[in-house]
Amino acid sequence: MRERLALSRPTEASSGKTGSWRTFRPVVDRETCNACGLCAQYCPDGVIDEDLNIDLDYCKGCGICANECPKEAITMIREER
């Protein structure tokens, strides 16, 4: 049935998969990472989960995580497409 009112409903990927915007991809060096969680705290899009895995489908590649990492465990690597 058609809705009488145009209502947007919460979904992931409401703007498409923004991972395609990326020019640089964050790569985490697990050896140097001390799991402080600052990258997840500062990620504007909340794409870093509790185990500090980065969701590359949605990561826009802004680089805040790499810039703020106190251990410099994250490097931004150019996407090959």
Partner 1 sequence: MTNIVKRSVSILSAIPKEEYLLKCTSACAGCSSSLCLRYVLKAAGPDSVLVVPACCTSVLQGIYPGTAMNVPVYNIAFAAAAACASGMSDAFAKLGKKTNVIVYAGDGGTVDIGIQALSGAFERGTNFLYICYDNEAYGNTGMQRSGSTPLGARTTTTPGGKLTAKKDLDRIVEAHNPPYMATACSAYPLDLYKKVKKALSIPGPKFIHILAPCPPGWRYPSEKTVEMGKLAVKTGMWVLYEREFGKLAISGPSRAAMRRPAPLEEYIGGQGRFKNMSPEILDEMRHQVERSIRRLASEEAGAC
Separation in Å, CA 50 to CA 10, 13, 16, 54, 63: 22, 20, 24, 10, 19
Q: Give the nearest distance from C-beta 77 to partner 1 in angstroms.
A: 14
- Least distance (Å) between residue 70 CB and partner 1: 9
Nearer to partner 1, 9 or 80 (CB): 9
Least distance between partner 1 and beta carbon 72 (Å): 13
Q: Are 72 and 32 a contacting pair, CB within 8 Å? A: yes
The Cβ of residue 55 has, within 10 Å, a number of other Cβ atoms equal to 15
Q: Which residues bind partner 1 (CB under 8 A)?
A: 6-18, 21-22, 34-38, 40-47, 50, 55, 58, 60-64, 66-68, 76
